[in-house]
Amino acid sequence: MENSMGQEILLAVVDIQEQLGNVEADVKDLKDSHDRTFRRVDDFLSTLGRHETELAALRSSHERLEERVLRLEKKSVSNHQDHLGGFCLR
């Protein structure tokens, strides 16, 4: 009977050790997954920051181009009116 009880305890210990090994493997997998997830989030935020910077530069460039186009349109209209005015006066 003592031998049977000792075998049961030994089997329980072996089972617990096996389960503990599985838990440790699961924890390692979770940590690895956690690290990969945070690297991806960091990469995404870095990319997002670069894109926001590029968008700001493009907006600024677009605004400057709009201003130049407006000035050219005003100059063109003014030159056109001067030309018509000069033509009509002759």
Helices (H), 1-90: 2-89
pTM: 0.58
Per-residue tokens: 2: 């003592």
As a whole number of Å, the CA-based R_g of the chain is: 38
Q: Which domain holds residue 31?
A: 1-90
Per-residue tokens: 49: 């920051």
pLDDT in tens, the chain (90 residues): 678 999 999 999 999 999 999 999 999 999 999 999 999 999 999 999 999 999 999 999 999 999 999 999 998 888 877 766 655 544
The number of distinct structural domains making up the chain is: 1
